[in-house]
Amino acid sequence: MIETTIALLLRRAIVELYGQEPSEDLIQVQKTRPEFQGDYTIVVFPFLKMSRKNPEQTANEIGNYLMNSSPEITAFNVIKGFLNLLVSDEYWMRFFTKVIPDDQFGFGKRQDTAPVVIEYSSPNTNKPLHLGHVRNNLLGWSVSAILKANGIPVKKVNLVNDRGIHICKSMLAWQKWGQSATPETTGQKGDKLVGDYYVLFDREYKKEIKTLVDNGMKEDEAKNSAPILLEAKQMLKKWEDGDDQVRKLWYEMNQWVYAGFDITYNRMGIDFDKVYYESETYLLGKALVEEGLQKDILFKKADGSVWCDLTSDGLDEKLLLRADGTSVYMTQDLGTAQLRHDDYHPGKLVYVVGNEQNYHFDVLKLVLKKLGKEWADSIEHLSYGMVELPEGKMKSREGTVVDADDLMEEMYQTAKTTTEALGKFDDFTEEESHQLYNILSQGALKYFILKVDPKKTMTFNPAESIDFTGNTGPFIQYTHARIKSILRKADEAGYPYLEIKIDWNDSNEKEKSLLKLLHDFPQVIQQAGENFSPALVANYAYEVAKEFNQFYHALIILKEEDEAKRTFRLQLSFVTARTIRQAMKLLGAEVPERM
């Protein structure tokens, strides 16, 4: 790509002009801002100490060197410390001719490296997936797809949190008030059924706390002394001790939840290469803790609980085993990390988890290092912001979350209503209409979630996400369908636009602008992979769609009488549609062939 060529020439220019080798971070090649003339801009300020000249002189010397060294650079201009370069039309035409038949344009070649293991979803088996899980799943899946597009081998994994006090709360509530209810007898998805009992536990727990407080007990003491909580803790102890009855109930209720999860994952288009279960990894974590005790890396308090002292690292003491010997989240994460290392020997272990767990992953890396695991440095926390609703935050235990299934169904119905209101799809069969509504609703949801930088907290508004104008998935999808309609009409007219090689001259600015944007696709995929940011791909897809619509409204395509111009514009349309499809695919979103 031309950016690489410019960067290499720039490095050579600094060496030959000023006798010094510039470091990698000083080589900055950027796209020229629209208000200035040029294609690429070099920031020359970093080289002033080497040139010992003012910015304008330095920029002019470098500009002349580049122009004399490469036929691709046809002109330059200098604005203060910025060198703007103009790339030849011949370069753009060669690029375009090469890219037309390349279905894999933008994607990197498969690298022979250790895989990146990406954990996402990580649900608890005491409730259905909700809006927060939607962002997690879409982000994890899309980052995996983007890394694969960069040629990096990826393993997508899920850790199901299937044991612990929160699971016992649902189990205990079902025992007390479930009256043997099952998904079959109630007609409910299993994850929703179990989630209802988790909410019921919390309701009864709060009643007991209030009773204790009303009888004179302090609130903190009441929270720890509520009989229903003590029963749940006793159930957890029985589970870890292998009690047959508790284990049987646990297994049965978890199976209900897994069946419900699979339905949600399938509709969302989410999959995994391997699923880990906390019930299978916590024992390995406990073994690592025992090993740390024997080596005096960890210590035991008087009550029997086991801790890791991180105060010398600027943190605090971290609990790894409770006094009754039961494990905590950190225990199983130690075991899971070790197991994944043993399974894959990955180059990176990426955890897609909300930013409220930043401290947890700082501790995880430190504890593993203290236990002598040198590979702990490969752990990366893809920390993302929470998803909120216009009315505020969600709370699972209070039952105020947006259920993922309900959300997807609402999106589907909104897509159906919005599409039918446009009145352009009366010729669709019922099956075609259903497929279209599903494509639009999933595209709207995925695009709206993923267009936001992962690190930012976001507010999700379903009504805003399904709009055929603006920065939305349906706008991009509609643009793709529009292009495909143009190409179908070209085929019907017998225009062999893909079979003709043309020389590009007398180009229109709208043509050139669209072509330059298409040229950016490989770099966008690379940057998105480096930053774990699907937002870069999402917003690029929007820019391409927006640029095409400007091109479409400014120029004649099918009715253009000049065959060379018509062919070139049809070829541009073809590559644009393919690029939009590939970009949206990296977000897990489909694009319709017609609308």
Q: Which residue among 362, 388, 414 closes a domain?
A: 388
Using alpha carbons, list the distances in angstroms from residue 492 to 480, 483, 496.
Answer: 18, 14, 10
Is pLDDT above 90 for 501?
A: no
Question: What is the tens place of the pLDDT at every residue in 361-387?
Answer: 999 999 999 999 999 999 999 999 988
Per the prediction, the chain carries an average pLDDT of: 93
- pLDDT computed for residue 508 by the predictor: 85
Question: What is the tens place of the pLDDT at every residue in 294-350?
Answer: 999 999 999 999 999 999 999 999 999 999 888 888 999 999 999 999 999 999 999
155: enclosing H helix or E strand: strand 154-160
Has residue 110 been placed in a domain? no
Give me the residues paired with residue 117 across strands.
155, 349
Give me the residues paired with residue 459 across strands.
388
Is pLDDT above 60 for 394?
A: no
Q: Would you give the DSSP letter of residue 310? A: -
Residue 209 contacts by C-beta under 8 Å, 6 or more apart in sequence? Answer: 219, 222, 223, 226
Question: Residues 190, 156: one domain?
Answer: yes
Percent with pLDDT over 70 in the chain:
97
Q: Is 301 helix (H, G, I), strand (E, B) or coil?
A: coil
Instruction: Locate 504 and state its tokens.
Output: 């590009």
Contact assessment for residue 381 and residue 351, using Cβ atoms and an 8 Å cutoff: yes
Is pLDDT above 50 for 397?
A: no
Q: Is 316 helix (H, G, I), strand (E, B) or coil?
A: coil
Question: What is the tens place of the pLDDT at every residue in 151-178?
Answer: 999 999 999 999 989 999 999 999 999 9
**Side-chain half-sphere exposure of 578, counting CA atoms within 13 A:** 19
Amino acid at 71: P
Question: Residues 419, 370: one domain?
Answer: no
Question: What is the tens place of the pLDDT at every residue in 530-551?
Answer: 999 999 999 999 999 999 999 9
Q: Binning pLDDT at 50, 70 and 90, where does residue 460 land?
A: confident
Has residue 592 been placed in a domain? no
Distance, in Å, from the CA atom of 172 to the CA atom of 91, rounded to the nearest integer, reads 70
Q: Binning pLDDT at 50, 70 and 90, where does residue 424 land?
A: low
How far is the first Cα of the chain from the last one, in angstroms, to the nearest whole number?
A: 35
Q: Which residue among 388, 422, 451 closes a domain?
A: 388
CATH label of the domain that carries residue 577: 1.10.730.10
Has residue 115 been placed in a domain? no
Q: Would you give the DSSP letter of residue 423? A: T
Distance, in Å, from the CA atom of 251 to the CA atom of 246, rounded to the nearest integer, reads 9
Pairing, β 299-300 against β 348-354: unpaired
Question: Residues 7, 147: one domain?
Answer: no
Residues in the chain: 595
Contact assessment for residue 408 and residue 267, using Cβ atoms and an 8 Å cutoff: yes
Using alpha carbons, list the distances in angstroms from residue 588 to 72, 138, 168, 437, 581.
Answer: 37, 8, 35, 16, 10
Has residue 105 been placed in a domain? no
Question: Residues 518, 409: one domain?
Answer: yes
Question: Residues 380, 432: one domain?
Answer: no
- pLDDT computed for residue 243 by the predictor: 96
The Cα angle at residue 298 between residues 293 and 302, in degrees rounded to 5: 85
Has residue 541 been placed in a domain? yes
Average pLDDT over residues 24-48: 92
Is pLDDT above 60 for 19?
A: yes
Pick from 580, 400, 365: which is nearest to 481 by CA?
Answer: 580
Average pLDDT over residues 493-515: 86
Is pLDDT above 60 for 570?
A: yes
- pLDDT computed for residue 425 by the predictor: 67
- pLDDT computed for residue 167 by the predictor: 95
pTM passes above 0.75: yes
Distance, in Å, from the CA atom of 167 to the CA atom of 160, rounded to the nearest integer, reads 12
Pick from 115, 30, 139: which is nearest to 538 by CA?
Answer: 139
Question: Residues 14, 136: one domain?
Answer: no
Check residues 80 and 254 and name the one with the higher pLDDT: 254
Is pLDDT above 60 for 201?
A: yes
Which contacts (CB < 8 Å, 24+ apart) does range 503-507 have? 503/93, 503/564, 504/89, 504/92, 504/93, 504/96, 504/568, 505/89, 507/89
Distance, in Å, from the CA atom of 99 to the CA atom of 136, rounded to the nearest integer, reads 34
Q: Is 321 helix (H, G, I), strand (E, B) or coil?
A: strand
**In which region does residue 522 sit, left (phi positive, over 0), alpha (psi from -120 to 50) or beta (all else)?**
alpha
Domain residues for the domain of 145 are: 120-388
Q: Binning pLDDT at 50, 70 and 90, where does residue 399 land?
A: very low
Question: Residues 129, 76: one domain?
Answer: no
The Cα angle at residue 265 between residues 262 and 269, in degrees rounded to 5: 135
Contact assessment for residue 330 and residue 371, using Cβ atoms and an 8 Å cutoff: no
Has residue 93 been placed in a domain? no
Question: What is the tens place of the pLDDT at every residue in 98-107?
Answer: 999 999 999 9
Q: Is 279 helix (H, G, I), strand (E, B) or coil?
A: helix
Question: Residues 409, 382: one domain?
Answer: no
CATH label of the domain that carries residue 14: 3.30.1360.70
Amino acid at 178: G
Q: Binning pLDDT at 50, 70 and 90, where does residue 67 land?
A: very high
Has residue 92 been placed in a domain? no
Contact assessment for residue 472 and residue 465, using Cβ atoms and an 8 Å cutoff: yes
Distance, in Å, from the CA atom of 84 to the CA atom of 40, rounded to the nearest integer, reads 6
Q: Is 146 helix (H, G, I), strand (E, B) or coil?
A: helix
Q: Binning pLDDT at 50, 70 and 90, where does residue 426 land?
A: low
Question: Residues 32, 127: one domain?
Answer: no
Instruction: Locate 400 and state its tokens.
Output: 């105020």
CATH label of the domain that carries residue 291: 3.40.50.620
Question: Residues 280, 323: one domain?
Answer: yes
- Name the packing angle between helices 563-586 and 509-519 (round to 10°): 30
Is pLDDT above 70 for 416?
A: yes
Question: Residues 331, 358: one domain?
Answer: yes
Is pLDDT above 50 for 235?
A: yes
Has residue 394 been placed in a domain? no
Q: Would you give the DSSP letter of residue 312? A: G
Give me the residues paired with residue 130 across strands.
403
Q: Would you give the DSSP letter of residue 353? A: E
Question: Residues 73, 139: one domain?
Answer: no
Q: Binning pLDDT at 50, 70 and 90, where does residue 179 land?
A: very high
The total number of structural domains that make up the chain? 3
- pLDDT computed for residue 325 by the predictor: 85
